[in-house]
Amino acid sequence: MAELVQLLFAGLTTGAVYALVALGFTLIFQASEVVNFAQGEFVMLGGMVTVFAMKAGLPLPLSALLAVLVAVATGVLLHRLAIEPAKGATVVTLIIVTIGASILVRGLAQILFDKQFHALPAFTGDEPLRVLGAAILPQSLWVLGGAAAIVFGLWLFMERTLLGKAVRATAANRLAAELVGIDTRLVLALAFAVSAAIGAVGGILVTPITLTSYAVGTLLALKGFAAAMLGGIGNPVGAVAGGLFLGLLEAFAAGWISSTYKDGVAFLVILLVLFLMPQGLFGRRAVERV
Amino acid sequence: MSPGTRTKIAVLGVLLLVLLLVPILLPSAFHLRVAALVWINATAALGLALLMGQAGQVSLGHAGFMGIGAYATALGPKHLGLDPLASMALGTLAAGLLALLVGRPILRLKGHYLAVATLGLGILVHLVIVSEVPITGGPDGIQVPRLEFLGWRLVGPELWYGITGTVLLLAAWLALNLEDSATGRALRALHDSEIAASVVGVDVARHKLVVFVIAAVYAAIAGGLFALFNRFVTPDVAGFLRSIELVTMVVIGGMGSIAGAIVGAALLTVLPQALTLFHEYEHAVLGFLIILFMVFLRQGIVPGLAGLLARRRLA
């Protein structure tokens, strides 16, 4: 029982981060049909900027805010300088543009920061909580709570605000949205900004547990992409479910099968799911009109 | 002479000319080594160009097949006492079989789903190579024995330049023939519309599978050549970044263009060598250049230049 709870919490914690990355993917994909492979770099920036701002003497909340701002600026620049000029390009070209952006951001981080691993202090101490015999880090609760708050906040924004409705309208039909007077350019920039902020917050929350370095973004992006696919791309609920499912899967595979192949199990299951359900777990079946 | 034959002769002629000119203009061992690397990467990119450009299917895990070819060539002599060349042939066969096995379910997928499935496949191959330390040597890599042929030890940059160049020439010749065959026309048809192609009687699933296997075999051969030439392989040869490099070679050169794949491979192989001067900035510059090319020369170098020339001729 203790082991089960332990693995469950470990899985949900990593899963929450995957869910945030997948949510960022989904947000940008909905608004622009771009699969943003630089999504993992926002998580990296969140962690790394916070670490270095704290080293420079800033308190944690201010460092975290600075990190989110840096990520948001990066996201908006990515949209303005790379995605927008490439408008109308093919799916593969756009994928390569975002991968190029991810290599660029990683390369710059390597120069501006360093190549070491860094940790952040846990927000509320390192004393583990005892739950049903399992030891749970308080930081895990921060990650889960933070992720839940972000998902809820995003839902409120999308459903209850005019701007959120503009985002959904743009996602549904860009031309129609423009015709009713929505500034779709602003909406796209907003999608990149919000997506970057979500990733950065995820990075800040999880760094005290997993450490960070300039290179953590790649694998996170791949897993977030996989999670978004599992949920059926373009579906926010599916993205969160896919992320949590992937995290749990990895934790149980690491605990019960082999920790060496934990990264592989995730991709193996994704292959199987795609073979059996080519539209993802929650995706609708696409019908091609001729 | 059909237009297909004319393109074929033009591309092969230019390639042969370049292959002959490089050693005359740049005779140093370093330049020949870089050139041999270009021919190896170009061979892998050619296969991917058939898959992406002709059939319109993307593979984000193609380095996985390169890794299979490279590691088979390294491991066969070490663990089974096989000849390196025989090991390379076995590796190529293994890569082809793997592609045959997973090709049908994977190629049923479209767009982003196909991207994530191929990506997963590549990552799994890379993970196995990194994790099975007792067999593969793990992240540190593994030595590859020297190739001997009829008692001759095959060493020296000139010789490897010749071997890799010949393989590329053969690979390009086969790819151009395929492009100009019934299969090539079927692939282009299903690229435009799978439904339309199947209506006129093209077996879509089979043709996609055929080109996927061909692309895998090209990559495995390139991987095996790399192992023999470099005499040392690390898991990087199968890594995600390598897969992306291969895709970028094809796209930068010009999708759907055989010559483009070779130009793209040359650019992406030579550039990092030139950038080692700015070692720290290598990644940043590479990322920046990729964005620049994709944004401003979207259809790729070779089709872009061809279009420019055609326009000038009209004017």
Q: For B66-115, what is each residue's pLDDT tens digit?
A: 999 999 999 988 888 888 889 999 999 999 999 999 988 888 887 778 88
State the Cα–Cα distance between residues A85 and A72, nearest whole angstrom. Answer: 19
- Could A91 and B112 be called an inter-chain contact, meaning their C-beta atoms sit closer than 8 Å? yes
- Could A107 and B287 be called an inter-chain contact, meaning their C-beta atoms sit closer than 8 Å? yes
Cα radius of gyration (chain A): 19
In this prediction, the answer to ipTM > 0.90 reads no
Range of the domain at B85: 3-238
Chain B interface test: which of A94, A104, A257 (most B C-beta within 10 Å): A104
Which has the higher per-residue pLDDT, B150 or A213? Answer: A213
B 187-246 residues with CB < 8 A to A:
193, 195-196, 240-241, 244
Place of tokens 């192992």: B227
Show the tokens assigned to A277.
């359900």
Using alpha carbons, select from B192, B61, B204 the residue that is nearest to residue B126.
Answer: B61
- Is there a domain that residue B282 lies in? no
- Could A35 and B251 be called an inter-chain contact, meaning their C-beta atoms sit closer than 8 Å? no
Q: What is the pLDDT of residue A286?
A: 54
Q: What is the pLDDT of residue B207?
A: 87
State the Cα–Cα distance between residues B92 and B160, nearest whole angstrom. Answer: 19
- Could A86 and B294 be called an inter-chain contact, meaning their C-beta atoms sit closer than 8 Å? yes
Chain B interface test: which of A92, A111, A223 (most B C-beta within 10 Å): A92
What is the identity of the amino acid at B263?
A: V
State the Cα–Cα distance between residues B147 and B136, nearest whole angstrom. Answer: 19
Q: Mean of the per-residue pLDDT values for chain B?
A: 87
Chain B interface test: which of A21, A97, A111, A287 (most B C-beta within 10 Å): A97
What is the identity of the amino acid at A203?
A: G
User: If pLDDT is split at 50, 70 and 90, which confidence band does B298 have?
Assistant: confident
B58, B196, B282 ranked by CB distance to A92: nearest: B58
Place of tokens 């790649």: A218
B78 three-class SS: helix
User: Do strands B232-233 and B142-143 pair parallel, antiparallel, or not at all (unpaired)?
Assistant: antiparallel
A89, A229, A264 ranked by CB distance to B124: nearest: A264
What φ, ψ does residue A118 adopt, rounded to 5°?
Answer: -130, 150
Q: How far is A169 from chain B (nearest CA, A)?
A: 23
pLDDT tens by residue, B34-77: 999 999 999 999 999 999 888 888 888 999 999 999 999 999 88
Alpha carbon dihedral A123, A128, A131, A136, in 10-degree steps, equals 60
B105, B240, B294 ranked by CB distance to A96: nearest: B294
State the Cα–Cα distance between residues B267 and B37, nearest whole angstrom. Answer: 11
Average pLDDT by stretches of 10, chain A with 290 residues: 86 92 90 87 94 92 95 94 83 84 91 88 84 84 92 90 89 88 89 94 91 86 86 82 91 84 80 76 58
Q: Say whether pTM exceeds 0.90.
A: no
- Could A100 and B282 be called an inter-chain contact, meaning their C-beta atoms sit closer than 8 Å? no
- Is there a domain that residue B181 lies in? yes
Show the tokens assigned to B244.
């992306």
pLDDT at B118 over 80: yes
Q: Please list the alpha-helical segments (H only) found in A161-235.
A: 162-172, 174-179, 184-210, 217-230
Check CB contact of B111 with chain A, cutoff 8 Å: yes
The residue in chain A having the minimum alpha-carbon distance to the alpha carbon of residue B109 is: A278
- Is there a domain that residue B280 lies in? no
What φ, ψ does residue A174 adopt, rounded to 5°?
Answer: -65, -45
- Could B116 and A85 be called an inter-chain contact, meaning their C-beta atoms sit closer than 8 Å? no
- Could B131 and A288 be called an inter-chain contact, meaning their C-beta atoms sit closer than 8 Å? no
- Is there a domain that residue B304 lies in? no
What is the identity of the amino acid at B184?
A: G
State the Cα–Cα distance between residues A120 and B202, nearest whole angstrom. Answer: 58
Q: Which residues contact A162 (CB under 8 A, 6 or more apart)?
A: none
Residue B142 pairs with which residues in a beta bridge? B233
Q: What is the pLDDT of residue B313?
A: 75
A81, A99, A101 ranked by CB distance to B244: nearest: A99
User: If pLDDT is split at 50, 70 and 90, which confidence band does B282 have?
Assistant: confident
C-alpha neighbours within 13 Å on the C-beta side of residue B163: 19
The residue in chain B having the minimum alpha-carbon distance to the alpha carbon of residue A264 is: B124
- Could B127 and A96 be called an inter-chain contact, meaning their C-beta atoms sit closer than 8 Å? no
- Is there a domain that residue B290 lies in? no
Residues of A in contact with B297 (CB under 8 A): none
The DSSP-derived string for B211-230 is: HHHHHHHHHHHHHHHHHHHH
Q: What is the pLDDT of residue A288?
A: 54
Q: Which residues of A touch B (CB under 8 A)?
A: 35, 81-82, 85-86, 89, 91-93, 95-97, 99-108, 110-111, 218, 222, 225-226, 229, 233, 260-261, 263-264, 267-268, 270-271, 274-275, 278-280, 288, 290
Length of chain A: 290
State the Cα–Cα distance between residues B77 and B233, nearest whole angstrom. Answer: 14
Do B157 and B7 form a contact (C-beta atoms < 8 A)? no
Q: What is the pLDDT of residue A290?
A: 55
State the Cα–Cα distance between residues B311 and B305, nearest whole angstrom. Answer: 10
pLDDT at B116 over 60: yes
- Could A275 and B240 be called an inter-chain contact, meaning their C-beta atoms sit closer than 8 Å? no
Q: Count structural domains, chain B.
A: 1
Which has the higher per-residue pLDDT, B247 or A133? Answer: B247
- Is there a domain that residue B42 lies in? yes
User: Do strands B152-153 and B148-149 pair parallel, antiparallel, or not at all (unpaired)?
Assistant: antiparallel
